[in-house]
Every structure is written in C-alpha cells, then in structure tokens.
Structure 1
C-alpha cells in the first residue's frame, strides 16, 4: 500500500480536531450528570440502588458521545500526523475546564488558567512545527 499524504495544519483542520475533542469532553459532562441522579431501578428482578432511569439515560448519552468520538478520531488520524492529532487532543483540558465553570458552576483558581495557558502554548508550538 502507498503511504497517504498527510495534510498540513490549517485553521479548519484545527477546528475539525477540536470538534472531535468537544464531543469527547461531552462524555465527561454526561458522566457527571449521570452521577448526580442516584436512585434505584429494578432490571430483571435485580434492584440496582445506585442509579435511576434518568442516570441510565445520561450514561447512554455518554456512550453515544464516546462512539461518535471514536469514529471522528479514526478519520482524524487518517488525515493528520499522530503527533499533531494527539497534541491537539490535549486541548480537552481547556474544554473540560470550560464545561465545569459554565455548566456546573465550579470555581477555578488562577493557577488552573496558567496550566491551561501552558498546554495551549505547547499545542501552538507543535502546530507551528507542522507547517
């Protein structure tokens, strides 16, 4: 088989990878929401005391996010160098931080922003090297 030519990173390429990463971090959001729905359900005569039907729905949505991400990720690694794809995947730290503040109203410390800035700077360095 011939080796596929990898595309250079463009702004649209970064957006494509970040879209996949956003889907991936959506699974974490669904997981956290599912954990906040305790209860008990009975399935085939077995009572589960740690999950409600609403929680089951959120777990199902989490699995959907992970499945969609797996499909997107396979397409990404076909088209881009692994070093570039994985460096951009590290941006999940930013998205997870953003969701925790916007959706769950968690507080953040300035040191968290410094860490995210360092990760972002590293991603920029890797992407610059790709061009």
Structure 2
C-alpha cells in the first residue's frame, strides 16, 4: 500500500514538473515577442523572433491540452499565474528592467495563491 502511495506522489510530482516546464516555455514566448517588437516591422530580425514566438505558442498549445487532461481546470489556471513571475525574471535578466518592491510583493502574493490552490487539492 505504501509503494502505491509513493508511486502516486511521484506521478503527481512529475505532472507538476511537466506543468511548470510548459509554463516556463510559454514565458519564453513572451521574450521572443518583446525581441520581435524591438526590430523593424517585417525585417529579418522581426520575422525570426516572431517565428520563434509562434513556434513556442504552437508547442505550448499542444502541451496545454495534455496538462488539462492531468489537472483540474482551476489548478491548471492558478499555476499559469507563475508566468508573471517568469516575466519579471526575464525582464530583469534579459532586458535589464529594474526590480521594484511592488513587483516582488506581487510575486510573493502570486506564489502564495498558487500554493493555496494546489494545497487544497
């Protein structure tokens, strides 16, 4: 019985890893979108970054369908809010955007909310 419980926990953990890896990919799509916006419209750089953005969204859409098979809709969408935190990280690391206290407090609230939804499952 204990082995079955451990196996169930392992599968649940693997599903959460899959969910968050997919959301990380989705957040990277936003980086490509911003990089495309910094290029001249229809230039080679614009087409390249916009193409990467569309490719990421296509892959993410396929992954999201698999996520919805494994999680209740409320849990999946509550976890999607983590992409805001990734956006802050990418903005700071890639684009040199400043970190502000409000952003950090908002991130703590988001992560706390995700924890509350997931722990209630």
Normalised by the shorter chain, which TM-score bucket? 0.7 to 0.9
Q: Secondary structure at the match of 2:95?
A: coil
The alignment covers a number of residue pairs equal to 113
1:25 corresponds to: 27
Q: More helix by proportion, 1 or 2?
A: 2
Partner Cα distance (1:87, 1:78) in 2:
15
Task: Provide the TM-score with structure 1 as the length reference.
Answer: 0.81
Answer whether contact 1:27 1:65 (CA < 8 A) is retained. yes
Q: Secondary structure at the match of 2:16?
A: helix
Runs (5+) with no aligned partner, structure 1: 1-6, 39-49
Residue 91 of structure 1: how far off its partner (Å): 0.6
Question: Quick check: 10-19 or 76-85, which moved more?
Answer: 10-19
Residue 101 of structure 1: how far off its partner (Å): 0.5
Answer whether contact 1:14 1:88 (CA < 8 A) is retained. no
Instruction: Tell me, yes or no, if structure 1 residue 127 matches structure 2 residue 118.
Output: yes
Answer whether contact 1:21 1:92 (CA < 8 A) is retained. yes
Residues 21-77 of structure 1, C-alpha deviations (whole Å, 9 max, x = no match): 111111110011111111xxxxxxxxxxx3311110110000000001000000000
The higher radius of gyration belongs to 1
2:105 aligns with one of 85, 96, 114: 114
1:4 corresponds to: none
Partner Cα distance (1:106, 1:112) in 2:
11
Larger RCO of the pair (alpha carbons < 8 Å, separation 6+): 1
Task: Provide the TM-score with structure 2 as the length reference.
Answer: 0.87
Runs of 4+ in 1 over 3 A off after TM superposition: 7-11
Runs (5+) with no aligned partner, structure 2: 1-7
Partner Cα distance (2:115, 2:97) in 1:
27
2:15 corresponds to: 13
Q: More strand by proportion, 1 or 2?
A: 1
